[in-house]
Chain A
């Protein structure tokens, strides 16, 4: 992915019209970042909060953005941090297990309204929820977002080798869990 032509244009526009550049950035990335966050936090209302916090944080720091960096990895890094902050907060205050999608959805007023998965999808989501947070993020970024290891290393500030190993272990665990059912 790195820097697409559109991202280069947005970065150039930041120097002359930051409001318009930010509008283009929101329009391009809000959906992608929402789904990345949603797969980590599961609930729509949590994803909605984290997404808005992501862009507010991006707006506060947009003037410090270095033009030689990638908007794509920068935004994913912010979104991932916001999602992890929310997950950690929820873990501290949770009265129910957060390793099971049924418990998470049942613990929310509107949880089941915005989830429409069949049995296989629920199994996959439960398997992903069993992974440690870092491994879960690596798995989601590679499996759903199809992010390259190069970009992922910038998002998570981790070496590509470590990320490859992490993804490999995640897949093995999920395959095992799906195979057990």
Chain B
């Protein structure tokens, strides 16, 4: 009887679809090793996401702080353009710009109109004559 059973054993009555083992192997691998690789990639991103967000926020804060400091910090004299101009240059150019009459007006009028001390009348007449001022006018004034 066992011999009869062994004759039957040789023929497998079960069938499978064409290329079944090739396809099922791919299906198994994609749902095991493939799925893990994907989840590892995703997992790495999701694990790092909070740290990436913090790093990005810190970077933005640093950029904003740096920009604000650059824009609003007062320019120190040592580095400003005025430091490159000497006091003498400034005074000369400033004086050149001002009308000489303005200086005369601002000057103390007492100095001009008051009696000139230390000079004799004769010295003044000599000076005025050298300046080609008419004698009559000199005598009228003095």
A residues in contact (CB < 8 Å) with B: 18-19, 22-23, 26-27, 30-31, 34-35, 38-39, 44, 48, 51-52, 55-56, 59, 113-118, 120-122, 124-125, 143-144, 171, 174-175, 178-179
Contact = CB atoms under 8 A, between A and B. Distances in A.
Interface stretch (B30-38, B87-95, B130-138): B30-38
Interface in B7-63: 7-9, 11-17, 20-21, 24-25, 27-29, 31-33, 36-37
Given A31-B21, A55-B28, A178 B33 contact: no
Contact of A114 (B4, B9, B15, B29): B15
A113 B37 CA distance: 37
A120 B12 CA distance: 12
Contacts of A48: 20, 24
Contacts, number: 83
Interface residues of B, number: 26
A121 B11 contact: yes
14 contacts: A22-B33, A27-B25, A34-B16, A34-B21, A44-B14, A44-B17, A51-B24, A52-B28, A114-B15, A114-B17, A118-B13, A124-B9, A143-B9, A144-B9
B31 A56 contact: yes
B28 A38 contact: no
Interface of B: 1-2, 4-5, 7-9, 11-17, 20-21, 24-25, 27-29, 31-33, 36-37
A26 B28 contact: yes
B33 A23 contact: yes
Contacts of A116: 13-15
A174 B37 CA distance: 48
SS class, residues of chain A in contact with chain B: helix
A112 to B, nearest CB: 10
A59 B15 contact: no
Nearest to A172: B1
Contacts of A34: 16, 21, 24
A115 B32 contact: no
A56 B2 contact: no
A15 B128 CA distance: 119
